[in-house]
Amino acid sequence: MNKEVLHYHLGTMDYLQCWEFQEKLMQSIINVKLSNREKEIPEPTKNYLLTVEHPHVYTLGKSGKSNHLLVSEDFLKSINATFYKVNRGGDITYHGFGQLVVYPILDLENFFTDIHRYVRNLEEVIIRVLNDYGIKGERSSGETGVWLDTHDIKKARKICAIGVRSSRWVTMHGLAFNLNADLKYFDYIIPCGISDKKVTSLHLELGKKVDENEVLEKVLHYFEEVFECQLTKKSSELKNLIFT
């Protein structure tokens, strides 16, 4: 089993372009797995981790409802936002500036073949990061993501959304962690289809702007710790994203 994970930090990138990269990486892993069926000595599969920030975009998962987008196409244009229906699980969410988005493209056969455990691990990464800032991140029964104050319906709020897809035990999509995000963009949707709970961000909880590079390093550290893997930093140059 290959526990090395190749990390590409992509900076700010258009959502659609990044989605296409994810699809290519996922398919490259699947292709190796399929070809290994004919090989006496199988070729190890690769694992990838993309970290990125997107310009304003709303995405609707396979189980989501279109009416959870509360504004018109013309309004989206007026706020320089785009909208896509995507092939992950979950409902509607927002990505934008000041948010850390993490896309693991992993062959879970290198780790464990359990999607439920995979999602819990993603949550655990963020829970450990929040703990470093003196914030108690929690899970909410029946809901994915990382929450605060889940014991009080009036105070419960989500700080990190999670939506994933898997095929042949290969994952894509991932999590969105609100750092310095402008939360007004969540007013235009019913986030994750949940109307009775709020959304928050790390800078709001701390009462100050956070160092996004510092948070990124913490996320990478705890990703290695939780998934018991070795991250290898790769060039962010797109020309070096070679799909084989």
The set of catalytic residues is 192
Q: Which amino acid is at 226?
A: V
Q: Give φ, ψ of 140 to 5 degrees.
A: -115, 125
- Determine the Cα–Cα distance for residues 148 and 136; give it in Å rounded to an integer: 7
Q: Which amino acid is at 131?
A: N
- Output the DSSP codes for 4-28: EEEEEEEEE--HHHHHHHHHHHHHH
Q: Is the dihedral of CA 10, 13, 15, 19 positive or negative?
A: negative
Q: Which amino acid is at 188?
A: Y
Helix, strand, or coil here: 77? helix
Closest Cα partner for 149 from 130, 121, 176?
130
- Determine the Cα–Cα distance for residues 45 and 192; give it in Å rounded to an integer: 32
Strands (E) in the chain, as ranges, are: 4-12, 48-53, 57-60, 82-85, 92-95, 99-105, 138-140, 143-148, 157-167, 170-178, 198-199, 230-234
